[in-house]
Chain A
Amino acid sequence: MSAYRLDYLDQLESEAIHILREVAGQFERPALLFSGGKDSITLVHLALKAFRPGKFPFPLVHIDTGHNFQEALDFRDALVQELGEKLIVRKVEDTIRTKQLTEPRGKFASRNALQTYTLLDTIEEFKFDACIGGARRDEEKARAKERIFSVRDEFGQWDPKRQRPELWNTYNGRIHKGENVRVFPISNWTELDVWNYIRREQIALPSIYFAHERPVIEHEGQLVAVSEFIQLDDTDTVLTKKVRYRTVGDMTCTAAVESAAGNIDDIIREITATKTSERGETRIDDKVSEAAMEDRKKNGYF
């Protein structure tokens, strides 16, 4: 009997592959939103399992804020090269120019909010009807209620009150013209599940996930990398610390954690011991208010 028992990671993997294939089966113009972070790298790995030896039935799409870690960009390009899949890059910079948007100011002026405009423009440009993303329900309370197939209106907005019931493993991807569906194949994974899967599958990650020395400043208890994108004040002291990243977002809004973890085993050991959530520890913009995430989602943020 026990021979036919699936490990939890195999069950999560199979569920994610099933979801990716539902996207392929139900939509005409899907896309995989690729941020360069470990969750979207995991999605790419799952897509390989779902579709090889065929090609992906979707391009990878990167919404580039221009504030990326160089390591993440290099990794992205190398990965795409190796896969032989199509990559579409659209820059927030260009949206700011053509739409005459106002850049946020301040110490950690983040383009996170402006990303939404570029994303919506990109969806319109390519007429994408489904966008696959690596969000997980354990990340945040609002996400805990979001469906795996999450319908957005033409403004990219998510309406929690109008969600469709999602039963069994049946996904309803039918939409009106102009709407699109955000699809989250790893909804049911936790941060630790992702790391355990990365370890098991030996998935390569950008180097910034592992401990390295980096000049940083301390801001309200968080470590922020010194870069051309943040403004230093006289009161800031630049320190060189051994750090790693738990998530990879913009340099302006992703904090590093002090760590000596140089490989995945060490990272998993650290995560098991830490008692701070991934989002709480590494997102500078989320602390503002508890409802921050929910507001951004309603406005079309991924």
Chain B
Amino acid sequence: MDLLRFITAGSVDDGKSTLIGRLLYDSKSIMIDQLEAIEKQSRNKEEGEIDLALLTDGLRAEREQGITIDVAYKYFSTPKRKFIIADAPGHIQYTRNMVTGASNADLAIILIDARNGVVEQTRRHSIITSLLNIPHVIVAINKMDMVNYSQDVYNNIVIDYSKVAQSLGLKDITYIPISALHGDNIVERSVRLDWYEGSSLLQFLEEVEVQRDIDLVNGRFPVQYVIRPQSDDLHDYRGYAGKIISGIYRKGDEVTIQPSGSRSTIKAIEIGGREVEEAYAPQSVVLHLNDDIDISRGDVIANNGRKPGSSQELEVLLCWMDNKPLVPGNKYLLQLNSRVVRAVVREIEYKLDVNTLQQEAYPQQAVLNDVIKVTIKTASPVPYDPYKTLRANGGAILIDETSHVTVGACMIQ
């Protein structure tokens, strides 16, 4: 049994909440008391059957406004997999929320209302999916019951969406016609959609191969913490604690420490106090090296694969997430995994329209939810990989030095 993280995206009323509710309900992940609570609310709202969408409504402020405004995480599992859903709804803050939810996702479900087909929002969700480099995409064409389960409607939407996908270079797209409300093609293949030959949504989620999305060749190990007991019996113990974010590390392997560039070999690898011959992403381990080198939090121990870039000038696509606008020239902190460095955002090269992909050259500033291309100058070198090549070492956050708030998400180019 393994783990799949996915995000759901759709415009308001496309049926996202209903779909999530349906998955939780049909996989029996909803408890009786939770069901009772939503049944009560459903009655309050004077709707006949229980409103599955209520399961995913979170905070009271949101319930009062009748909308969801933040990323919520939901869990369900089947005998094959544990699933983590990042439910990233919202209106104005949508880009920020979806970027947040998408950052960890292995897969995106993009919902389309069969009656409306591909709309501006669909393009936007697809652009964000592509920016965040989510490896797998399901296009779920929902409310098929409202178009008489028509194959033609479905086919036309597939043709339309293929153009969007092609223009964005999205790979691995799977189309599934569904009715979230009635459960068609959610768990079981539906007889009302017998012209459709693929898997049901859940079947697909259970079977999609995500392991190969992890790069097992080019190893990156950001050091988080140095374990030095300094007790009499462990006087010389010096272990580098961290999580392998890509690659395989073996005892005896040659490694390079970035950004210093010094080299050593692996003396020992421990997992939870037990010595092992090899370890791989995404395991949390302790590495011991044969040479006494000065290594501290924020350094990256790389294996013999491709070398990470090391630069004080990063070209990034930046999603701005703060209410205060970004002013070029301002100083921030840039955090990439465990490394934090001072950074200055240079001139904004262009702003990307997330609905059309059009570029507006040299805007004065960037505001909440803008996606822009900038150069970031850092006070010391940052070992990185291009986001498109190695997601785990190419996504960084910007932090406001005075408010301490996370203000931006950087995809390093």
A153 within 8 A of B: no
Q: Which residues of A contact B143 (CB under 8 A)?
A: none
A1-45 contact mask (Cβ, 8 Å, vs B): 1 or 0: 110111110111111011001101100000000000000000000
Q: Which residues of B contact A54 (CB under 8 A)?
A: 227-229, 239
CB distance from B319 to the nearest CB of A (A): 9
B45 within 8 A of A: no
CB distance from B370 to the nearest CB of A (A): 14
Q: How far, in whole Å, are A256 and B324 apart by their CA atoms in the complex?
A: 50
Q: Is A142 a contact of B59 with CB atoms below 8 Å? A: yes
Q: Is B224 a contact of A145 with CB atoms below 8 Å? A: no
Q: Which residues of B contact A4 (CB under 8 A)?
A: 211, 216, 248, 280
A176 within 8 A of B: yes
**Which of B11-19, B30-38, B173-181 faces chain A?**
B30-38
Given known pairs A144-B58, A144-B74, A145-B71, the reply for A290 and B37 (CB within 8 Å) is yes
B66 within 8 A of A: no
Q: How far, in whole Å, are A165 and B405 apart by their CA atoms in the complex?
A: 9
CB distance from B63 to the nearest CB of A (A): 8
Q: How far, in whole Å, are A218 and B248 apart by their CA atoms in the complex?
A: 56
> For chain A residues 144-159, which have a beta carbon within 8 Å of chain B?
144-145
Q: How far, in whole Å, are A5 and B242 apart by their CA atoms in the complex?
A: 19
A299 within 8 A of B: no
A55 within 8 A of B: yes
Q: Which residues of B contact A145 (CB under 8 A)?
A: 58-59, 70-73
Q: Is B3 a contact of A169 with CB atoms below 8 Å? A: no
Of the residues A11, A174, A176, A291, contact of B3 by C-beta under 8 Å: A11
Q: Is A167 a contact of B395 with CB atoms below 8 Å? A: yes
For chain B, the bracket of interface size reads 35 or more
Q: How far, in whole Å, are A109 and B359 apart by their CA atoms in the complex?
A: 63
Q: Is A291 a contact of B33 with CB atoms below 8 Å? A: no
Q: Is B406 a contact of A165 with CB atoms below 8 Å? A: yes
B225 within 8 A of A: yes
Q: Is B337 a contact of A193 with CB atoms below 8 Å? A: no
Of the residues A161, A170, A188, A281, contact of B73 by C-beta under 8 Å: A188
Q: Which residues of A contact B37 (CB under 8 A)?
A: 290
Q: Is B59 a contact of A141 with CB atoms below 8 Å? A: yes
**Which of B96-104, B114-122, B303-311 faces chain A?**
B96-104
For A176, the closest partner residue in chain B by CB is B404
Q: Is A172 a contact of B406 with CB atoms below 8 Å? A: yes
> For chain B residues 304-341, which have a beta carbon within 8 Å of chain A?
321, 333, 335-338
Q: How far, in whole Å, are A164 and B407 apart by their CA atoms in the complex?
A: 8
Q: Which residues of B contact A275 (CB under 8 A)?
A: 28, 31-32
Q: Which residues of B contact A15 (CB under 8 A)?
A: 282
For chain A, the bracket of interface size reads 35 or more
A166 within 8 A of B: yes
> For chain A residues 240-289, which have a beta carbon within 8 Å of chain B?
274-277, 280-281
Q: Is A8 a contact of B3 with CB atoms below 8 Å? A: yes
Q: Is A280 a contact of B33 with CB atoms below 8 Å? A: yes
Q: Is B32 a contact of A25 with CB atoms below 8 Å? A: no
CB distance from A86 to the nearest CB of B (A): 15
Q: Which residues of B contact A2 (CB under 8 A)?
A: 211
Q: Is A8 a contact of B2 with CB atoms below 8 Å? A: yes
B409 within 8 A of A: yes
B80-103 contact mask (Cβ, 8 Å, vs A): 1 or 0: 011010000000000011011001
CB distance from A24 to the nearest CB of B (A): 5
> For chain B residues 291-307, which have a beta carbon within 8 Å of chain A?
297
Q: Which residues of A contact B227 (CB under 8 A)?
A: 51, 53-54
B219-236 contact mask (Cβ, 8 Å, vs A): 1 or 0: 000001101110000100
Given known pairs A17-B243, A170-B397, the reply for A24 and B225 (CB within 8 Å) is yes
Q: Is A294 a contact of B59 with CB atoms below 8 Å? A: yes
Q: Is A53 a contact of B2 with CB atoms below 8 Å? A: no
Q: Is A141 a contact of B399 with CB atoms below 8 Å? A: no
Given known pairs A8-B2, A163-B70, the reply for A52 and B58 (CB within 8 Å) is no
Q: Is A8 a contact of B1 with CB atoms below 8 Å? A: yes
> For chain B residues 261-299, which have a beta carbon within 8 Å of chain A?
271-273, 280, 282-284, 297
B75 within 8 A of A: yes
Q: How far, in whole Å, are A182 and B55 apart by their CA atoms in the complex?
A: 26
A81 within 8 A of B: no
Q: Is A1 a contact of B406 with CB atoms below 8 Å? A: no
B191 within 8 A of A: no
| Residue of A1, A51, A53, A274 contacting most chain B CB atoms (<10 Å) | A53
For A272, the closest partner residue in chain B by CB is B28
Q: How far, in whole Å, are A89 and B73 apart by their CA atoms in the complex?
A: 33
B237 within 8 A of A: yes
Q: Which residues of A contact B396 (CB under 8 A)?
A: 170
Q: How far, in whole Å, are A221 and B218 apart by their CA atoms in the complex?
A: 57
Q: Which residues of A contact B395 (CB under 8 A)?
A: 167-168, 170
Of the residues A11, A174, A193, A291, contact of B399 by C-beta under 8 Å: A174
Q: Which residues of B contact A10 (CB under 8 A)?
A: 283
Of the residues B234, B282, B409, contact of A14 by C-beta under 8 Å: B282
CB distance from B277 to the nearest CB of A (A): 12
Q: How far, in whole Å, are A160 and B61 apart by their CA atoms in the complex?
A: 9
Q: How far, in whole Å, are A175 and B397 apart by their CA atoms in the complex?
A: 16
**Can you name 13 A-B residue pairings with CB atoms under 8 Å?**
A1-B211, A8-B1, A14-B284, A22-B224, A48-B272, A49-B271, A50-B241, A53-B273, A165-B97, A168-B392, A168-B395, A172-B397, A277-B33
Additional A-B contacts beyond A7-B2, A49-B271 (10; CB < 8 A):
A8-B2, A24-B225, A50-B241, A160-B59, A172-B397, A174-B399, A192-B77, A290-B37, A291-B60, A294-B60
